[in-house]
Structure 1
Amino acid sequence: MTNPDGAAAARPLALAWASRHLEAGERIVGIGVLHGGITAEMRRLTIGTRDGGTRDLVLRTFVDPFSVERAEDWLNREAGALLQLAGTGVPAPGLVAVDPTAAHCEYPSLLMTHLTGRTVLDDEGLEPRLHLLARQLVAIHAVRPTERPAGYVTLTTADTVVTPKGADTAAWAAAIDVLRKPPPPCEGRFLHRDFQPGNVLFDAPPERPADVRITGVVDWAAASWGPADLDVAHCSTNLALLHGPEWGLRFTEAYEEAGGVLAAAASERLYWRVRDGLACSEEVQQVARPWREAGRTELTTRVVEARLDAYVTALMDTPG
């Protein structure tokens, strides 16, 4: 068995559990570490098939105390979402097995199919990817599940917002006041709830490198039922921090251009966009770290904080 990383095989109970969910005559012949995740260990399992070929699965394991405490909810949401998305045309992994309470594994785990493609976080080529992201999110929101996922969760309050050093204090005070208002009424939609470039896989045919396409949308652990505005706001915030505030503002336009429908009132749209921007204020370091590990070394915590400040200020300057 190949093992590119010494820690990759450190969960023998999880590997034994995964083996029990393979097809007859199959076995695990390779284990590799997948990088980029924030909340979970990700392993790619290479499976030897009966005909002498191979296929890949992904083993997702929550190990840190914060994630383990919430793993049952997260993994049940993810498993439910993957089942609901099967056959919809949304390129999500297929569910193989789930152990949300670690009844069989060392830690709560989920086994799913592996999707081709890679995350792309570069500034180059962003314009066409932006429109692909918008169209993909419209398609996700068009899913009509036979069983609705649990309602969306928002943890940030006006009292937990972390105003960046040197921020426009007047703009942030106004934004925090927006957060003090009750959530506006909304029409529910099927939400990814963490839709952003880090959870979308892209690929292009070797003979046509300009024909980039989305090959997968991953990490459905927060799948929810709620307003489309919330997903759009979350992707907008991430684009603003990754590529600049103007791209966060542009994504909302791209979503509507792709046929997506947002709240009719400007004040309601502003509420969700501000809510997600301020939520990010509490976890800037956590958000920026995987981006730097993926090669965007210039995205220091200070740079990302400055972009968040500029984005929140722009939202308050252009509430419509």
Structure 2
Amino acid sequence: MNTMNPWLSNPVLEWVIDAVHPEARVASVERLHGGISALVCRIVLSVHGEERSVVLRLFTNAEWVREQPDLALREAASLRRASRASGTAVPQLIAFDETGERCGVPALLMTRLEGLVVLDPPDIRQWVDGMAEALSRLHQVDAADHGWSFTPYCDAGLLDTSSWSQFPGKWREAARIVTGDRPSAASRFIHRDYHPANVLWKDGEVSGVVDWVNGCIGPAGIDVGHCRVNLAQLHGIQAADAFLSAYRQYAGDSFAYDPYWDLVTLIDFAYWPPEVYKGWTDLGFTGLTTELVAERLDLYLLSILDRVSS
């Protein structure tokens, strides 16, 4: 390993330099937190006396790479596609090592966006409004000919919440709905992992959306639902509902809400016993317990089933 840091080898740093500028010098390396499936570092390079910050993702989870060997290629394609969005910034692709030939594992290098993750805002309504507006802009990107399509993470038919939920029967009802007929929905270019830890803020406004490795074509309701279930865990049902209301306002007639997609994304989180997401605690968020997360998932489920019945 390079003595400057405990994470990146010399071949990796050499690849970064080759991609940015052959005369660049590595000034510093900082590991970034908030994700749990890859090693992400901010690298500051000095090029002819000027500093340039880039972000490197190394796909170090061997099981994930075995299951999806095209991770770096997918994120590269998703970044290129997302860069077409008007009014919502995303990192710009610099280079990617699809197979790990240079870096030992698949890797992707991108520009660094200004801003910080906000998980406990002073004004929750303003916070969810900003995230909803940014998402609505991303969903306006042309969805044609992107090479990856949405698939659920879990088999809802195998869902069993009896070990932790107060309402296992209600979860079985949700699973029956999800395994039934899928409603029609317009195809959109979606982030697939849209939640507060992937949204950056600066001066009270969204400054960018990061982590595009799951970008694909699918229903807008998947992004909306994924963000809502994260908000329900962080701050409760009211925050999740405020996000939905704001998104519907920004998306207008281009979005037809269906609680089915909320259930799909919720089951992704209930498939295993609930826990406090490590990405949140790494970013300094406190106050959650496993018991509180389980309670909030139960209550959120009941609120969605109410929407289904109405």
State the TM-score, normalized to the length of structure 2: 0.91
Is structure 2 residue 249 aligned with structure 1 residue 257?
yes
Of all paired residues, the percent bearing the same amino acid is 31
Is structure 2 residue 294 aligned with structure 1 residue 294?
no
1:138–1:109: structure 2 CA closer, same or farther, 3 Å change rule?
Answer: same
1:251–1:63: structure 2 CA closer, same or farther, 3 Å change rule?
Answer: same
Separation (CA, whole Å) in 2 of partners of 1:286 and 1:25: 46
Separation (CA, whole Å) in 2 of partners of 1:39 and 1:262: 33
Alignment of 1:111-150 (within 5 A): 111-144=109-142, 147-150=145-148
Separation (CA, whole Å) in 2 of partners of 1:146 and 1:152: 14
Separation (CA, whole Å) in 2 of partners of 1:223 and 1:239: 20
- Residue 85 of structure 1 deviates from its aligned partner by 2.8
Q: Gaps spanning 5+ residues in structure 2: where? A: none
The partner residue of 1:61 within 45, 58, 62 is 58
**Aligned residue type for 2:21:** E
The partner residue of 1:74 within 48, 63, 71 is 71
Give the structure 1 partner of residue 211 of structure 2: 219
Give the structure 1 partner of residue 299 of structure 2: 310
Q: CA RMSD in A?
A: 2.1
Query: 1:199-247 CA distances to partner (integer Å, 9 max, x unpaired)?
Result: 000010xxxxxxx111110000010111111111111111111110222
**Aligned residue type for 2:221:** D
Give the structure 2 partner of residue 203 of structure 1: 202
Give the structure 1 partner of residue 267 of structure 2: 278
State the TM-score, normalized to the length of structure 1: 0.89
Alignment of 1:15-54 (within 5 A): 15-50=13-48, 52-54=49-51
Give the structure 2 partner of residue 207 of structure 1: none
Q: Gaps spanning 5+ residues in structure 1: where? A: 205-211
Separation (CA, whole Å) in 1 of partners of 2:169 and 2:84: 48
Query: 1:248-269 CA distances to partner (integer Å, 9 max, x unpaired)?
Result: 12221111111345664x7xx1
Displacement over 6 Å in runs of 4+: none
1:300–1:99: structure 2 CA closer, same or farther, 3 Å change rule?
Answer: same
Separation (CA, whole Å) in 1 of partners of 2:254 and 2:158: 27
CA contact (8 A) 1:56 1:113 kept: yes
| Count of residue correspondences | 306
Alignment of 1:227-246 (within 5 A): 227-246=219-238
